[in-house]
């Protein structure tokens, strides 16, 4: 069984999961396990959520109290799901029509609502890994969901920064960012009625893109009336990536509120991280990034925003 282990040097939980080393990789002549007609994908469906057979987490045994500094290791309680975004092996988000997009984002909401209500779950992270450039093992369009027994360190850091500004100024970093970016327009990719996509002012990666709701909402639940519009904005960003890169590859993560405590300061958003330095060269994370968590971006966000803006013009 997988374990969570406390890293006392960094003050964070690590999931140790040797089982995942045996997960399948999509080989050229191998049948896709996610295409219709396979044992788990029979019957009529357009979007389908499955248990991850190579899960890093398991609900077996129930929740385990994790007390930092007291508990140093425990069974890795939680849930891992796979969301199949389409029956069509080649239908990625940039080619989906609005009907399919609405189904996909309604499923994101349904799965989030279901897992966030489970006992012992402190954070639900929905994300999509795509492309051989980032090591994706299966090509079929799919996303993943981890329902975790702890709040991950990146989210804790965002929460700390957001709460500090909320307590001092009654605002959040994203609300202030939207106000500033709308005035300058230098880094905006596109605006719709309820969302804005942009390359952030201090982007860690050259083509990093964020999507913000213009209203201060904490999760997909409050965006229920605008799920299709959110999907359309994400589709627009990925279409721009497809126009710029030789291979569409990215990590997309929904940054939703922590599942514990009162979080009025949290502003839901989506972050996309392509691994590219330019059209075909990868941006490798090396010494300063991996060893110090300090990123060097060898381009300007303004330059990359212009490139993405013009990609579909």
The vertex-226 CA angle with 223 and 228, nearest 5°, equals 125
Q: Which two tokens stand for residue 179?
A: 């106000």
Number of neighbours of residue 22 by Cβ within 10 angstroms: 8
Residues 218 and 268: beta-carbon distance below 8 Å: yes
Pairing of the two strands 269-273 and 250-255: antiparallel
Q: Which two tokens stand for residue 103?
A: 């189904």
> Half-sphere exposure (CA, 13 Å, Cβ side) for 213?
25
Write out the catalytic residue numbers. Answer: 142
257 CB-near residues (< 8 Å, 6+ apart): 218, 219, 263, 266, 268
Pairing of the two strands 188-191 and 48-51: unpaired
| Alpha carbon distance 201, 187 (integer Å) | 7
| Alpha carbon distance 105, 112 (integer Å) | 11
> Half-sphere exposure (CA, 13 Å, Cβ side) for 112?
24
Q: Which two tokens stand for residue 241?
A: 């990536």
Tracing tokens 């450039």 back to the chain, one arrives at 133
Residues 211 and 192: beta-carbon distance below 8 Å: no
Rounded to 5 degrees, what are φ and ψ at 212?
-115, 135
């Amino acid at each position: 069984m997988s374990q969570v282990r406390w890293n006392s040097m960094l003050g964070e939980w690590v999931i140790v999961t040797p089982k995942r080393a045996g997960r399948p990789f999509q080989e050229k002549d191998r049948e896709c396990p996610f295409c219709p007609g396979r044992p788990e994908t029979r019957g009529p469906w357009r979007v389908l959520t499955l248990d991850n057979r190579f899960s890093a987490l398991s609900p077996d045994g129930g929740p385990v109290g994790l007390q930092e500094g007291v508990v140093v290791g425990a069974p890795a309680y939680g849930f891992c799901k796979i969301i199949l975004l389409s029956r069509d092996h080649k239908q990625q988000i940039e080619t989906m029509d609005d009907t399919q997009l609405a189904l996909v984002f309604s499923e994101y909401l349904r799965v989030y609502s279901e897992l966030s209500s489970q006992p012992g779950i402190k954070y639900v992270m929905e994300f999509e890994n795509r492309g051989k450039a980032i090591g994706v093992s299966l090509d079929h369009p799919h996303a993943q969901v981890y329902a975790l027994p702890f709040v991950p360190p990146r989210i804790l850091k965002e929460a700390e920064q957001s709460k500090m500004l909320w307590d001092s100024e009654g605002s959040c970093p994203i609300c202030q960012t939207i106000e500033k970016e709308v005035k300058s327009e230098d880094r905006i990719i596109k605006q719709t009625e309820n969302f804005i996509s942009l390359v952030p002012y201090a982007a860690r990666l050259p083509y990093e893109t964020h999507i913000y709701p213009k209203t201060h909402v904490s999760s997909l639940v409050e965006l229920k009336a605008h799920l299709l519009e959110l999907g359309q904005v994400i589709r627009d960003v990925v279409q721009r990536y497809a126009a710029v890169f030789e291979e569409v590859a990215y990590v997309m993560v929904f940054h939703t509120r922590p599942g514990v405590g009162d979080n009025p300061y949290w502003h839901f958003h989506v972050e996309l991280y392509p691994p590219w330095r330019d059209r075909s060269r990868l941006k490798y994370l090396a010494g300063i990034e991996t060893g110090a968590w300090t990123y060097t971006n060898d381009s300007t966000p303004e330059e990359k925003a212009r490139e993405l803006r013009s990609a579909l013009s």
